[in-house]
Amino acid sequence: MGVSGCGKSTLGTQLSQSVERKFFEGDDYHSPQNVEKMKAGHPLTDQDRIPWLNQLGQLLDKSDHPAILSCSALKYTYREILRSCTKSLFFIHLELDRDSASERLKQRTDHFFAPTLLDDQFAQLELLKTTERGVTLPSELSPNELIHRVLQI
pLDDT digit string, tens, across residues 30-57: 999 999 998 888 999 999 999 999 999 9
pLDDT band at 89 (very low <50, low <70, confident <90, very high): very high
| Per-residue pLDDT at 107 | 80
Q: Which architecture, in CATH terms, is 8-151?
A: 3-Layer(aba) Sandwich (3.40)
pLDDT > 90 in the chain, percent? 80
pLDDT of residue 122: 95
Q: Which alpha helices (H) appear in the chain, and where do they start and end? A: 8-19, 32-39, 46-62, 76-85, 98-107, 118-124, 143-151
CA-nearest of 49, 42, 58 to 78 is 49
Q: Which of 75, 94, 126 is nearest to 4 (CA)?
A: 94
Q: What is the pTM of this model?
A: 0.90
